[in-house]
Structure 1
Amino acid sequence: MKTLVLGIGNTLLTDEGVGVHLLDVLRPMLGDLHGVTLLDGGTLSFTLAASIEDADALIVVDAAELKRRPGEWAVLEGEEMDRFLIGARKASVHEVGLADLRTIALLAGHWPERRALLAIQPAVIDWGEFPTAPVAAAMPPACAAIAHLIRGWHDA
Protein backbone atom coordinates (compact mmCIF):
# COMPACT_ATOMS: atom_id res chain seq x y z
CA MET A 1 0.00 0.00 0.00
CA LYS A 2 1.28 3.47 -0.90
CA THR A 3 0.56 5.95 1.89
CA LEU A 4 1.12 9.66 1.39
CA VAL A 5 1.55 11.91 4.43
CA LEU A 6 1.14 15.44 3.16
CA GLY A 7 2.30 18.23 5.46
CA ILE A 8 0.97 21.60 4.41
CA GLY A 9 1.54 25.12 5.59
CA ASN A 10 3.73 28.17 5.35
CA THR A 11 6.80 27.74 7.58
CA LEU A 12 7.29 31.53 7.71
CA LEU A 13 4.00 32.00 9.58
CA THR A 14 4.51 30.38 13.02
CA ASP A 15 1.73 27.84 13.61
CA GLU A 16 0.54 27.92 9.99
CA GLY A 17 3.62 25.84 9.12
CA VAL A 18 2.93 23.03 11.59
CA GLY A 19 2.06 20.51 8.89
CA VAL A 20 5.50 20.86 7.33
CA HIS A 21 7.37 21.03 10.66
CA LEU A 22 5.60 17.89 11.86
CA LEU A 23 7.11 15.82 9.04
CA ASP A 24 10.56 16.15 10.65
CA VAL A 25 9.22 14.79 13.95
CA LEU A 26 7.30 12.00 12.20
CA ARG A 27 10.12 10.75 9.94
CA PRO A 28 12.02 8.73 12.62
CA MET A 29 8.76 7.22 13.91
CA LEU A 30 8.01 5.67 10.52
CA GLY A 31 11.45 4.25 9.78
CA ASP A 32 10.22 0.63 9.70
CA LEU A 33 7.23 1.20 7.44
CA HIS A 34 7.57 0.63 3.70
CA GLY A 35 5.46 2.43 1.14
CA VAL A 36 5.08 5.62 3.19
CA THR A 37 6.01 8.92 1.57
CA LEU A 38 6.31 12.14 3.55
CA LEU A 39 5.73 15.14 1.31
CA ASP A 40 6.19 18.83 2.08
CA GLY A 41 3.15 20.31 0.36
CA GLY A 42 4.06 23.87 1.34
CA THR A 43 1.16 26.19 0.70
CA LEU A 44 -0.45 23.76 -1.75
CA SER A 45 -0.59 23.81 -5.51
CA PHE A 46 -2.34 21.91 -8.25
CA THR A 47 0.86 19.88 -8.78
CA LEU A 48 0.03 17.90 -5.61
CA ALA A 49 -3.03 16.37 -7.28
CA ALA A 50 -0.91 13.72 -9.02
CA SER A 51 0.68 12.61 -5.73
CA ILE A 52 -2.74 12.34 -4.08
CA GLU A 53 -4.17 10.38 -7.01
CA ASP A 54 -1.21 7.97 -6.88
CA ALA A 55 -1.72 7.18 -3.18
CA ASP A 56 -3.72 4.28 -1.77
CA ALA A 57 -3.99 6.09 1.55
CA LEU A 58 -3.67 9.78 2.43
CA ILE A 59 -3.00 11.67 5.64
CA VAL A 60 -2.94 15.44 5.51
CA VAL A 61 -1.47 17.45 8.37
CA ASP A 62 -2.36 21.13 8.66
CA ALA A 63 -3.22 23.92 11.04
CA ALA A 64 -6.98 24.39 11.10
CA GLU A 65 -9.65 26.33 12.95
CA LEU A 66 -11.13 23.70 15.25
CA LYS A 67 -12.60 26.14 17.78
CA ARG A 68 -10.41 24.55 20.45
CA ARG A 69 -7.49 25.63 22.62
CA PRO A 70 -4.17 26.21 20.84
CA GLY A 71 -2.30 22.95 20.35
CA GLU A 72 -5.37 20.72 20.55
CA TRP A 73 -5.71 18.45 17.56
CA ALA A 74 -8.15 16.07 15.94
CA VAL A 75 -7.97 13.22 13.46
CA LEU A 76 -10.81 13.37 10.96
CA GLU A 77 -11.14 10.21 8.88
CA GLY A 78 -12.96 9.43 5.66
CA GLU A 79 -16.23 11.26 5.18
CA GLU A 80 -15.65 13.28 8.35
CA MET A 81 -12.53 14.71 6.67
CA ASP A 82 -14.53 15.45 3.51
CA ARG A 83 -17.25 17.29 5.43
CA PHE A 84 -14.63 19.38 7.21
CA LEU A 85 -12.89 20.29 3.95
CA ILE A 86 -16.11 21.29 2.25
CA GLY A 87 -17.09 23.45 5.23
CA ALA A 88 -13.62 25.02 5.45
CA ARG A 89 -13.32 25.77 1.72
CA LYS A 90 -13.49 29.53 2.14
CA ALA A 91 -11.36 29.57 5.29
CA SER A 92 -8.17 28.33 3.58
CA VAL A 93 -5.25 30.74 3.55
CA HIS A 94 -3.63 28.75 0.76
CA GLU A 95 -3.77 29.72 -2.91
CA VAL A 96 -5.25 26.31 -3.71
CA GLY A 97 -7.31 24.78 -0.95
CA LEU A 98 -7.26 21.13 0.04
CA ALA A 99 -10.92 21.03 -0.94
CA ASP A 100 -9.83 22.01 -4.47
CA LEU A 101 -7.35 19.12 -4.56
CA ARG A 102 -10.11 16.80 -3.34
CA THR A 103 -12.31 17.93 -6.21
CA ILE A 104 -9.53 17.30 -8.74
CA ALA A 105 -8.92 13.81 -7.32
CA LEU A 106 -12.64 13.01 -7.43
CA LEU A 107 -12.88 14.19 -11.04
CA ALA A 108 -9.88 12.01 -11.90
CA GLY A 109 -11.61 9.07 -10.19
CA HIS A 110 -9.20 8.58 -7.31
CA TRP A 111 -9.76 10.11 -3.87
CA PRO A 112 -8.16 7.56 -1.51
CA GLU A 113 -10.67 5.49 0.41
CA ARG A 114 -8.33 5.49 3.39
CA ARG A 115 -7.82 9.15 4.20
CA ALA A 116 -7.50 11.36 7.24
CA LEU A 117 -6.82 14.94 8.18
CA LEU A 118 -4.81 15.60 11.31
CA ALA A 119 -5.74 19.18 12.14
CA ILE A 120 -3.99 21.21 14.84
CA GLN A 121 -5.50 24.35 16.35
CA PRO A 122 -3.02 27.21 15.88
CA ALA A 123 -2.30 29.81 18.56
CA VAL A 124 -0.66 32.43 16.34
CA ILE A 125 -0.40 32.93 12.61
CA ASP A 126 2.09 35.73 12.19
CA TRP A 127 5.66 36.11 10.99
CA GLY A 128 7.89 33.55 12.66
CA GLU A 129 9.83 30.46 11.65
CA PHE A 130 8.75 28.09 14.44
CA PRO A 131 5.47 26.94 15.95
CA THR A 132 4.36 28.40 19.27
CA ALA A 133 4.91 26.38 22.46
CA PRO A 134 1.40 24.82 22.62
CA VAL A 135 1.52 23.76 18.98
CA ALA A 136 5.09 22.44 19.27
CA ALA A 137 4.04 20.42 22.34
CA ALA A 138 1.19 18.86 20.33
CA MET A 139 3.50 17.57 17.62
CA PRO A 140 4.88 14.38 19.30
CA PRO A 141 1.46 13.00 20.34
CA ALA A 142 0.00 13.98 16.95
CA CYS A 143 2.86 12.11 15.25
CA ALA A 144 2.21 9.06 17.43
CA ALA A 145 -1.45 9.15 16.34
CA ILE A 146 -0.41 9.32 12.68
CA ALA A 147 2.02 6.40 13.08
CA HIS A 148 -0.70 4.36 14.82
CA LEU A 149 -3.19 5.13 12.04
CA ILE A 150 -0.73 4.14 9.30
CA ARG A 151 0.20 0.90 11.05
CA GLY A 152 -3.47 0.05 11.44
CA TRP A 153 -4.10 0.66 7.74
CA HIS A 154 -1.07 -1.41 6.74
CA ASP A 155 -2.07 -4.30 9.03
CA ALA A 156 -5.68 -4.37 7.76
Structure 2
Amino acid sequence: MKTLVLGIGNTLLTDEGVGVHVLQALEPELGHRDDVTLLDGGTLSFTLAGPIEEADALIVVDAANIKTRPGEWALLEGNDMDAFLMANRKASVHEVGLTDLRAIALLAGHWPAKRAMLAIQPAVIDWGEAPTPAVAAAIPPVCAAIVEQIRTWNHVA
Protein backbone atom coordinates (compact mmCIF):
# COMPACT_ATOMS: atom_id res chain seq x y z
CA MET A 1 0.00 0.00 0.00
CA LYS A 2 1.41 3.39 -1.04
CA THR A 3 0.67 6.21 1.44
CA LEU A 4 1.02 9.87 0.51
CA VAL A 5 1.61 12.24 3.43
CA LEU A 6 0.85 15.71 2.13
CA GLY A 7 2.05 18.65 4.23
CA ILE A 8 0.42 21.93 3.33
CA GLY A 9 1.38 25.46 4.25
CA ASN A 10 3.52 28.50 3.73
CA THR A 11 6.55 28.36 6.02
CA LEU A 12 6.94 32.14 5.81
CA LEU A 13 3.66 32.64 7.71
CA THR A 14 4.33 31.25 11.23
CA ASP A 15 1.68 28.63 12.10
CA GLU A 16 0.38 28.50 8.53
CA GLY A 17 3.43 26.38 7.62
CA VAL A 18 2.87 23.67 10.23
CA GLY A 19 2.06 20.99 7.64
CA VAL A 20 5.49 21.42 6.08
CA HIS A 21 7.18 21.49 9.51
CA VAL A 22 5.48 18.17 10.36
CA LEU A 23 6.85 16.65 7.13
CA GLN A 24 10.36 17.77 8.07
CA ALA A 25 9.96 16.16 11.50
CA LEU A 26 8.72 12.92 9.90
CA GLU A 27 11.64 12.68 7.48
CA PRO A 28 14.02 10.72 9.79
CA GLU A 29 11.37 8.09 10.60
CA LEU A 30 9.46 7.77 7.33
CA GLY A 31 11.65 9.32 4.63
CA HIS A 32 13.46 6.07 3.81
CA ARG A 33 10.32 3.95 3.36
CA ASP A 34 9.31 2.85 -0.14
CA ASP A 35 5.64 2.65 0.83
CA VAL A 36 5.43 6.25 2.11
CA THR A 37 5.86 9.48 0.16
CA LEU A 38 6.34 12.72 2.08
CA LEU A 39 5.25 15.57 -0.19
CA ASP A 40 5.54 19.29 0.52
CA GLY A 41 2.28 20.57 -0.95
CA GLY A 42 3.21 24.18 -0.21
CA THR A 43 0.23 26.42 -0.78
CA LEU A 44 -1.47 23.85 -3.04
CA SER A 45 -1.83 23.60 -6.77
CA PHE A 46 -3.65 21.38 -9.17
CA THR A 47 -0.37 19.54 -9.85
CA LEU A 48 -1.03 17.64 -6.61
CA ALA A 49 -4.00 15.86 -8.20
CA GLY A 50 -1.70 13.28 -9.83
CA PRO A 51 0.10 12.16 -6.66
CA ILE A 52 -3.24 12.02 -4.79
CA GLU A 53 -4.79 9.87 -7.50
CA GLU A 54 -1.77 7.52 -7.49
CA ALA A 55 -1.87 6.98 -3.72
CA ASP A 56 -3.63 4.08 -2.01
CA ALA A 57 -3.87 6.13 1.18
CA LEU A 58 -3.69 9.87 1.86
CA ILE A 59 -2.81 11.82 4.97
CA VAL A 60 -3.08 15.62 4.81
CA VAL A 61 -1.48 17.83 7.46
CA ASP A 62 -2.54 21.47 7.59
CA ALA A 63 -3.29 24.40 9.84
CA ALA A 64 -7.07 24.75 10.02
CA ASN A 65 -9.68 26.51 12.07
CA ILE A 66 -11.03 23.64 14.15
CA LYS A 67 -12.36 26.08 16.76
CA THR A 68 -10.09 24.95 19.60
CA ARG A 69 -7.13 26.40 21.46
CA PRO A 70 -3.95 27.06 19.45
CA GLY A 71 -1.85 23.94 19.08
CA GLU A 72 -4.74 21.53 19.58
CA TRP A 73 -5.28 19.15 16.71
CA ALA A 74 -7.83 16.72 15.38
CA LEU A 75 -7.58 13.53 13.33
CA LEU A 76 -10.38 13.49 10.77
CA GLU A 77 -10.63 10.19 8.95
CA GLY A 78 -12.54 9.14 5.84
CA ASN A 79 -15.99 10.67 5.57
CA ASP A 80 -15.25 12.90 8.58
CA MET A 81 -12.40 14.48 6.61
CA ASP A 82 -14.65 15.00 3.58
CA ALA A 83 -17.41 16.51 5.71
CA PHE A 84 -14.94 18.90 7.36
CA LEU A 85 -13.57 20.03 4.00
CA MET A 86 -17.03 20.60 2.56
CA ALA A 87 -18.46 22.33 5.66
CA ASN A 88 -15.43 24.54 6.33
CA ARG A 89 -14.50 25.69 2.87
CA LYS A 90 -13.45 29.07 4.23
CA ALA A 91 -11.61 27.86 7.35
CA SER A 92 -8.29 28.39 5.55
CA VAL A 93 -7.15 29.17 2.04
CA HIS A 94 -5.94 25.60 1.64
CA GLU A 95 -9.21 23.89 2.39
CA VAL A 96 -10.73 25.51 -0.69
CA GLY A 97 -7.87 23.97 -2.67
CA LEU A 98 -8.24 20.62 -0.92
CA THR A 99 -11.92 20.62 -1.80
CA ASP A 100 -10.99 21.25 -5.43
CA LEU A 101 -8.37 18.48 -5.39
CA ARG A 102 -10.94 16.13 -3.86
CA ALA A 103 -13.37 16.96 -6.68
CA ILE A 104 -10.69 16.27 -9.32
CA ALA A 105 -9.79 12.93 -7.70
CA LEU A 106 -13.45 11.93 -7.49
CA LEU A 107 -13.97 12.79 -11.16
CA ALA A 108 -10.91 10.71 -12.04
CA GLY A 109 -12.34 7.86 -9.98
CA HIS A 110 -9.61 7.79 -7.35
CA TRP A 111 -10.12 9.60 -4.07
CA PRO A 112 -8.26 7.27 -1.70
CA ALA A 113 -10.62 5.18 0.43
CA LYS A 114 -8.06 5.38 3.22
CA ARG A 115 -7.69 9.06 3.95
CA ALA A 116 -7.21 11.29 6.95
CA MET A 117 -6.47 14.89 7.80
CA LEU A 118 -4.55 16.13 10.79
CA ALA A 119 -5.86 19.62 11.34
CA ILE A 120 -3.88 21.83 13.72
CA GLN A 121 -5.37 25.00 15.19
CA PRO A 122 -3.05 27.94 14.45
CA ALA A 123 -2.39 30.77 16.91
CA VAL A 124 -0.82 33.30 14.54
CA ILE A 125 -0.70 33.62 10.78
CA ASP A 126 1.68 36.46 10.10
CA TRP A 127 5.20 36.89 8.76
CA GLY A 128 7.60 34.58 10.55
CA GLU A 129 9.51 31.42 9.69
CA ALA A 130 8.79 29.37 12.82
CA PRO A 131 5.53 28.20 14.35
CA THR A 132 4.40 29.65 17.67
CA PRO A 133 5.32 27.61 20.77
CA ALA A 134 1.78 26.16 21.09
CA VAL A 135 1.76 24.94 17.49
CA ALA A 136 5.39 23.74 17.63
CA ALA A 137 4.45 21.63 20.67
CA ALA A 138 1.80 19.88 18.56
CA ILE A 139 4.32 18.64 15.98
CA PRO A 140 5.64 15.57 17.90
CA PRO A 141 2.19 14.18 18.83
CA VAL A 142 0.89 14.82 15.30
CA CYS A 143 3.91 12.95 13.89
CA ALA A 144 3.18 10.04 16.26
CA ALA A 145 -0.46 10.03 15.15
CA ILE A 146 0.60 9.88 11.48
CA VAL A 147 2.97 6.97 12.10
CA GLU A 148 0.24 5.15 14.03
CA GLN A 149 -2.34 5.82 11.29
CA ILE A 150 -0.01 4.33 8.66
CA ARG A 151 0.67 1.33 10.91
CA THR A 152 -3.07 0.78 11.45
CA TRP A 153 -3.86 1.00 7.74
CA ASN A 154 -1.02 -1.40 6.85
CA HIS A 155 -2.29 -3.97 9.35
CA VAL A 156 -5.85 -3.70 8.04
CA ALA A 157 -4.83 -3.79 4.36
TM-score (norm 1): 0.96
Give the fraction of aligned pairs with identical amino acids, expressed as a percent: 75
The answer to whether structure 1 residue 87 and structure 2 residue 87 are counterparts is yes
SS at 1:25 equivalent: helix
Q: 1:32 Cα shift?
A: 6.7
- For 1:17 and 1:31, the matched residues in 2 are separated by 19
- For 1:139 and 1:92, the matched residues in 2 are separated by 19
- For 1:73 and 1:27, the matched residues in 2 are separated by 20
Partner of 1:154 in structure 2?
A: 154
RMSD: 1.4
The number of equivalent residue pairs is 156
The answer to whether structure 1 residue 122 and structure 2 residue 133 are counterparts is no
Partner of 2:38 in structure 1?
A: 38
Kept in 2, the 8 Å contact 1:44–1:96? The answer is: no
The runs of 5 or more residues in structure 1 that have no matched partner are none
Aligned letter for 1:145? A
Kept in 2, the 8 Å contact 1:45–1:96? The answer is: no
Partner of 2:144 in structure 1?
A: 144
Aligned letter for 1:69? R
Partner of 1:56 in structure 2?
A: 56
Write the deviation string for residues 33-74 of structure 1: whole angstroms up to 9, x where unpaired: 431000000000000000000000000000000110000001
31-40 vs 3-12, which moves further? 31-40
Write the deviation string for residues 60-104 of structure 1: whole angstroms up to 9, x where unpaired: 000000110000001000000000000122333249610110000
Kept in 1, the 8 Å contact 2:88–2:95? The answer is: no
121-130 vs 83-92, which moves further? 83-92
- List 4+ stretches of structure 1 deviating above 6 A: none
Partner of 1:22 in structure 2?
A: 22
- For 2:50 and 2:133, the matched residues in 1 are separated by 34
TM-score (norm 2): 0.95
74-83 vs 94-103, which moves further? 94-103
